[in-house]
Amino acid sequence: MRKLKEVARLYLELKLGVRPIARACNISTSTASVYVEKLRELNATYQEIDEMDEAVFFDLLFPKEEKPSVKPLPDFTYLAKELSKKGVTLQLLHEEYKRDNPEGYERTQFYHLYHSWCKKADPVMRFTHKAGEKMFVDFSGDRARYQNPLTGETIEAELFVSVLGASSYIFACAVLGQTVESFVSCNIKALEYYGGCPDCLIPDNMKAAVTHACYYDPEINKTLAAMARHYNIAVIPTRVAKPKDKAKVENAVLQAQRRILAVLRNRTFFSIGELNDAIAEEVKKLNTRPMKGVDKSRWDLFTEIEKPALKPLPEERFVIASWKKAKVHIDYHVAVEKTYYSVPYTLIGQLVDIRYTGSVIEIYHKSKRVASHMRINKPGAFVTENLHMPNEHRQYLEWTPARIKLWGEKIGPHTKSLMEAIMERRTHPEHGFRSCLGLIRLSRTYSPERLEKACERALQIEAYNYRSVKSLLVMKLEEAVSENTERIIPLHANIRGGNYYREASHD
């Protein structure tokens, strides 16, 4: 290109002929003749040419002749849109293209053209994962199935999939749902399957992993966060609506669907344990299957580069616990699955955190444990620690048995009597506070006269609880009168009577 501009200077500025130009630029006479002829056709001054970019000047002298393609180009936008649909592959689209264009591009060139278009249309960052750094996790959109052996009902199970970043080593198992407990349990099984811990756990923003999704500061579920601390790993959720952040597990889920669920589609299982045994067999086959372009299996890569980089598992397995927030009621109890557990009475009205497992209930206030109870599975029962009761400090409570009775007396004698009966039938009077406060709240909805009659009716039928009184008011049964009159059964040929059964018993 530098010689082109020199030829232009010699020809346009110095008015030299072809031969002198050829000798001065050390090029052949024929080449110099072609350059001079092109300069004549361009019809530009040397000053204009000197200010031009060299590449632009070359293109002006020697414009590229684009040969019209005989073969029709595919509609790349259409291909990209169709590929986003479930089950559509590039091979299927090429077959459809060849059906409509028999003289069109063959598969290799078709693939090359599409991938070249993709690089220009949507460039993406390609991740290089270090050994032992990341474990990606997700649930499959397609589900596994098994049958209830007693009813024959088909039960769908979620398929959990995890994959290590460097080796693409896959783990999969079936669980009944995407609950927090199931998700954490699956992660524990995956870590035990790998025999070590990576540095980071990469889930998406599913509810079982993230309590509050945020681009800058996502809030990790407390149970998952506790598990991460136990195994000394970091939880780093992907960005919202950015599937490319977890392309590794997306591909692993696809492999699980094709190599596990598709293989097991015609088999019938009668328990989730039997289903998981079959899944484990197919996972082993998938991990030992050689990968194209690598000539090694996932197992080979895992043993060579990934496993030595994993951190060792802790000595004890993580115990899964659930968390919830609750406000301490005036009876200084909090509810966990309809069972009530006591806390120190000084925390009445305060917000506490409750950690509960299958056997233990722990209650925290400002990150400090204030109560611990053995868990019982009796809905409606109260578990009370005597040290939590107010005793001589009862005057500091907003509500007391005496104050509640005084309030009931304002409505009527039957309301007071029902409240007394409610508290007398509890181990501790405070256990009846909830029902009594429920009656107080009913007075805001119904008139004092109706509430008094409903309490009278509840005393008659010995229904000493809030629900019965509310039901009487809702159904408008507070005016009903109980009758103890004996029912007379009319004589009929089809009615045998008591004598029939007595005679039959002697036989």
DSSP 133-187: TEEEEEE-SS-EEEE-TTT--EEEEEEEEEEETTT--EEEEEES---HHHHHHHH
Residue 244 belongs to some domain of the structure:
yes
Q: Model confidence over 428-466: pLDDT tens digits?
A: 666 677 788 888 888 888 888 888 889 988 888 888 888
Task: Say whether both 177 and 54 belong to one domain.
Answer: no
Domain end call among 256, 280, 309:
309
pLDDT of 270 strictly over 70 = yes
* DSSP assignment of 315-342: SSPPPP-EEEEEEPPTTSEEEETTEEEE
Residue 317 belongs to some domain of the structure:
no
Q: Of 487, 488, 496, whose CA–CA distance to 505 is shortest?
A: 496
More confident: 395 or 91: 91
* Out of 78-92, 181-195, 267-281, 302-316, least confident range: 78-92
Number of H helices, E strands in the chain: 19, 15
More confident: 340 or 63: 340
Question: In whole angstroms, what is the distance from residue 59 CA to residue 243 CA?
Answer: 43
Pairing of the two strands 200-202 and 234-235: parallel
pLDDT of 403 strictly over 70 = yes
Q: Of 139, 145, 140, 142, whose CA–CA distance to 157 is shortest?
A: 145
Q: Model confidence over 33-73: pLDDT tens digits?
A: 988 888 888 888 888 888 887 777 787 877 776 555 578 88
Neighbour-count burial of 63, counting CB atoms closer than 10 A to its CB (0-12 exposed, 13-18 middle, 19+ buried): exposed
Question: In whole angstroms, what is the distance from residue 226 CA to residue 322 CA?
Answer: 10
Residue 67 belongs to some domain of the structure:
no
Task: Say whether both 378 and 441 belong to one domain.
Answer: no
Residue 23 belongs to some domain of the structure:
yes
Give me the half-sphere count of Cα atoms (radius 13 Å) on the Cβ side of residue 224: 27
pLDDT at 444: 81
Domain end call among 359, 390, 421:
390
Task: Say whether both 217 and 241 belong to one domain.
Answer: yes
Task: Say whether both 235 and 176 belong to one domain.
Answer: yes
pLDDT of 367 strictly over 70 = yes
Question: In whole angstroms, what is the distance from residue 198 CA to residue 169 CA?
Answer: 13
Task: Say whether both 217 and 242 belong to one domain.
Answer: yes
Which residue type occupies 259?
R
pLDDT of 210 strictly over 70 = yes
Question: In whole angstroms, what is the distance from residue 307 CA to residue 304 CA?
Answer: 7
* Out of 74-83, 91-100, 130-139, least confident range: 74-83
pLDDT at 487: 44
pLDDT at 67: 57
pLDDT at 170: 96
* 90 neighbors 51 (Cβ within 8 angstroms): no
Predicted TM-score (pTM) of this structure: 0.53
Q: Is the dihedral of CA 272, 277, 279, 283 positive or negative?
A: positive
Task: Say whether both 372 and 424 belong to one domain.
Answer: no
More confident: 26 or 88: 26
* Residue 337 backbone class (left: φ over 0; alpha: ψ -120 to 50; beta: rest): left
Residue 299 phi, psi (nearest 5) = -65, -40
The total number of structural domains in the chain stands at 5
Task: Say whether both 47 and 168 belong to one domain.
Answer: no
Q: What is the mean pLDDT of residues 148-156?
A: 92
Task: Say whether both 158 and 295 belong to one domain.
Answer: yes
pLDDT at 495: 56
pLDDT at 231: 96
pLDDT of 370 strictly over 60 = yes
Task: Say whether both 416 and 451 belong to one domain.
Answer: yes
Residue 358 belongs to some domain of the structure:
yes
Give me the half-sphere count of Cα atoms (radius 13 Å) on the Cβ side of residue 383: 21
* 175 neighbors 160 (Cβ within 8 angstroms): yes
Residue found by looking up tokens 């991990």 in the block: 287
Task: Say whether both 250 and 357 belong to one domain.
Answer: no
Residue found by looking up tokens 């020199």 in the block: 6
Q: What is the mean pLDDT of residues 127-142?
A: 86
Residue 316 belongs to some domain of the structure:
no
485 pLDDT band, cuts 50/70/90, is very low
Pairing of the two strands 382-383 and 339-342: parallel
410 pLDDT band, cuts 50/70/90, is confident
Neighbour-count burial of 328, counting CB atoms closer than 10 A to its CB (0-12 exposed, 13-18 middle, 19+ buried): buried
Query: What tokens were used for 507?
Result: 């036989």
Task: Say whether both 215 and 242 belong to one domain.
Answer: yes
* 66 neighbors 90 (Cβ within 8 angstroms): no
pLDDT of 473 strictly over 80 = yes
Q: What is the mean pLDDT of residues 212-233?
A: 86
pLDDT of 393 strictly over 50 = no
Q: What is the mean pLDDT of residues 202-219?
A: 83
Question: In whole angstroms, what is the distance from residue 313 CA to residue 226 CA?
Answer: 15
pLDDT at 397: 47
More confident: 246 or 492: 246
Task: Say whether both 406 and 486 belong to one domain.
Answer: yes
More confident: 54 or 2: 54
Domain end call among 309, 338, 353:
309
pLDDT of 504 strictly over 60 = no
Question: In whole angstroms, what is the distance from residue 230 CA to residue 97 CA?
Answer: 54
* Out of 21-25, 229-233, 317-321, least confident range: 21-25
Query: Of the ranges 292-306, 346-360, 407-421, which is most confident?
Result: 346-360
pLDDT of 123 strictly over 60 = no
For the chain, percent of residues with pLDDT exceeding 70: 86
Q: Could you tell me the residue range of the domain that residue 195 belongs to?
A: 134-309
Query: Of the ranges 366-370, 442-446, 467-471, which is most confident?
Result: 366-370
Question: In whole angstroms, what is the distance from residue 384 CA to residue 122 CA?
Answer: 63
* Residue 195 backbone class (left: φ over 0; alpha: ψ -120 to 50; beta: rest): left
Residue 68 belongs to some domain of the structure:
no
For the chain, percent of residues with pLDDT exceeding 90: 35
Show Cβ contacts of residue 356 under 8 Å, excluding neighbours closer than 6 positions: 321, 322, 323, 324, 336, 362, 375
pLDDT at 203: 94
Residue 146 belongs to some domain of the structure:
yes
